[in-house]
Amino acid sequence: MKKNNNPKAAQSRVGDRSLTASEKRIRDELSIARTIQTAMVPQRLPAMEGIELASLYLPSEQLGGDLYDVIQISEDVLVITIFDVASSGVPAALLASLAKVSFANHVRQVSSPRAVMERVNEDMLRSVSAKYYITALVAYLDLHDNKLTYCNAAHPYPIIVRKSANLLEPIKSTGVCMGLFEKCLFEEKSLYLNSGDWLLFFTDGLYRLYSGDTELANRRLLEAEVLASAANGSPGQFVNQVGHRCAAAEDRGGAGDDITVLVIEFLTQSRKNLIKDKLGFKENDPVYLQFISYFEEMDKATSIILSAMDSLGYADESIRKMKIILTELFANAIYHGNKGDHSKKVTIGHVIDKKKVTISIMDEGDGFDPSKVPDPTLPENLVKDCGRGIYIVRSYADKLEFNQKGNRVSITKYHVTR
């Protein structure tokens, strides 16, 4: 039999034998609680076009007081919540779990970080003793224009790296800890991100991984490492570096605090501009974007366009024809383009002014060759159930164009005044 020379394993076996039944039960219950808490950490980050995300969550004890969440609430909006309970062990874990559920509920009900903070603070006051409180940060990231709107409750300031200028700055806003006072001031602020910029969210345990003499010195060491990583690496590589520092700290006896890190890199132009380009619009066009996947969503998307035409004085006849056009094109995109697969979406962009309506509709299918669609007016095609929709659209629109792949159609209808 192979001899086990691992001293830690031997200590563990001796420790197991010395535990009472009650102590073993407590240990097992704590292990289960740890498993439950770990399950509350995002196991997979949202995959969104134009950004790269990486994260790390390492509790220092069997149960930790840090948690974070990344929630995609629409095609373009991502909400980040990160918080730290001013306690440890079981009380901290329970409060962190309560806070995570509260944040998750409220970010889906309101679109203001300040409103979320106020509501979660009320939940904390109703449910938790005043001796426990949390620091927290809520940030809404709108990828339409790369706008970050955020609110901070005495949490460590996130860091933004402006890669093009090789500059780093803390993202500051004013706020007090949550769970202490009924009336709290939470300052809501906004900023815009550019291609190449990095955002770093974290809890204060991250500072403990650096070897400076003071917290300020550790902060400067962290900032220098973030700046170097943004210049030469990726979010995933930076998170790996933090993981190596955590492992080194464990060899020295542990960091002494929970560590949570979330990094976002902005890879390209804003998501809205990417979509506008795919739809055939120019960057400065004031495009209104919509996304549908089901036939039941067609009426709402159509009504938005028709209402805009009506407000600009388009004739009732033009609006009626546009309704028929959109019904045909939306149905074709869902049924023929996406083959009825509701996991795929139809992207719609429109620009309407007093001169014309321009609409582009793109599905996620393989496309088709519009030149091969039979002419339904020819005698041999009169009884065939194909080509009628495109024929109607050609008749009612002033201009109809397909992209080369055949999965995008663009129409134009001019505002005719008498």
Q: How confident is the model at residue 212 (pLDDT cuts 50, 70, 90)?
A: confident
Same domain, 325 and 211: no
Same domain, 178 and 213: yes
How does pLDDT run across 57-84, given as a tens digit for each residue?
887 665 667 788 999 988 789 999 998 8
Query: Cβ of 308: how many Cβ atoms within 10 Å?
Result: 16
Residues in the chain: 418
Phi, psi of 94 (to 5 degrees): -65, -45
Looking at residue 13, its pLDDT comes to 44
% of the chain residues with pLDDT over 70: 84
Mean of all residue pLDDT scores within the chain: 84
% of the chain residues with pLDDT over 90: 39
Q: Are 261 and 56 in contact (CB under 8 A)?
A: yes
Q: How confident is the model at residue 219 (pLDDT cuts 50, 70, 90)?
A: confident
CA distance 322 to 411: 10
The verdict on residue 274 lying in a domain is no
Pick the closest to residue 396 from 319, 322, 299 (CA basis): 322
The verdict on residue 380 lying in a domain is yes
Least confident span in 94-98, 277-281, 334-338: 94-98
* DSSP for 137-183, written as a single string: EEEEEETTTTEEEEEEEBPPPPEEEEGGGTEEEE----BPPBTS-SS
Q: Which residue, 240, 266, 292, sits at the end of a domain?
A: 266
Overall domain count for the chain? 2
**Mapping DSSP to helix (H, G, I), strand (E, B) and coil, where does residue 269 land?**
coil
CA distance 175 to 190: 15
Q: Are 136 and 99 in contact (CB under 8 A)?
A: yes
Q: Give whole-number Cα distances, 179 to 81, 210, 398, in Å.
A: 16, 30, 61
Of 412 and 25, the structure prediction assigns the larger pLDDT to 412
Mean pLDDT of 246-258: 71
What is the tally of helices (H) and strands (E) in the chain? 10, 15
How does pLDDT run across 141-190, given as a tens digit for each residue?
988 788 999 999 989 899 999 988 888 988 988 888 888 888 888 899 99
Q: Per DSSP, which regions of 194-287 are E strands?
A: 198-202, 259-266
Q: Which residue, 238, 266, 294, sits at the end of a domain?
A: 266
Q: Which residue, 224, 243, 266, sits at the end of a domain?
A: 266
Q: Which residue shows structure tokens 């629109």?
A: 397
Q: Residue 218's domain spans which residues?
A: 42-266
Mean pLDDT of 312-331: 95
